[in-house]
Amino acid sequence: MSRERSGPGVGLSVGVLTRNLVALLGSLVAFLAVGLLGALTLRTLSVPLASRFPRVWGRAVLWVLGIEVELHGEEHLADARAGTVGARWPCVIVTNHQSVLDMPLLALLGPRAPLVMGKAELRWMPGFNLMWWGLGQAFVPRGDARRSHALVDAFVTGMRAAPRTVMLAPEGTRTPGGCASP
């Protein structure tokens, strides 16, 4: 009689765990570096940093994790990718947040220099919080409708002044099975 084990972590090799650790630590170092650069320059470099950093970071994380991306329908992303500062037709990209891989995938495939709205709880994520601020992104207070609406209004005003694509995940939290939160 053999006993088979199943569950989280079973069957993970040392190589997979090492790649995950390298991706996590590398991301933390990158987030801190970009955040500090943004802070030291008083966010004057937030748009140029936001134009380059996410794509490089997304590609690096997916490469370290050994994930190859195959994109079908790339022609449908052309308008969204052109939504950079000064572009004529920025857009709003709405995503359903399904996994931790969403962020590097969106960073790799998304537009340059997007304005991104994220849940306010992200400000407590070490490294990520500083990077998010340094890139000029916004934390949305989900429990305060008045402040949330004011933030969205500010984003719309910003899009009109200097057109940039906006990205957001309205649900804001991954859930088991991918079901929408109430």
Sequence-distant (6+) residues with CB within 8 A of 123 are: 129, 132, 139
Write out the two tokens for 6: 């199943």
Distances in whole angstroms, Cα of residue 76 to Cα of each of 41, 51, 84, 174, 181: 35, 20, 16, 25, 28
Q: Are strands 92-94 and 138-140 parallel, antiparallel or unpaired?
A: unpaired
Q: If we measure between CA atoms, which residue out of 38, 27, 58, 60 comes closest to residue 135? A: 38
> Residue 57: which of 23, 83, 81 has the closest Cα?
23
Across the range 112-120, mean pLDDT stands at: 82
pLDDT in tens, 130-146: 888 887 788 888 888 89
Q: Given a cut of 60, is residue 30 above it in pLDDT?
A: yes
Is residue 180 one of the residues assigned to a domain?
A: no
Does residue 182 fall inside a structural domain? no
State the total domains in the chain: 1
> Would you say residue 81 lies in a domain?
yes
116: three-class secondary structure by DSSP: strand
Model confidence pLDDT, tens digit, residues 57-82: 888 999 999 999 888 877 766 656 65
**pTM higher than the cut 0.75:** no
Nearest-angstrom CA–CA distance, 144 and 10:
41
Most confident by average pLDDT, 44-48, 52-56, 157-161: 52-56
Q: 86 falls in which pLDDT band (50, 70, 90)?
A: very low
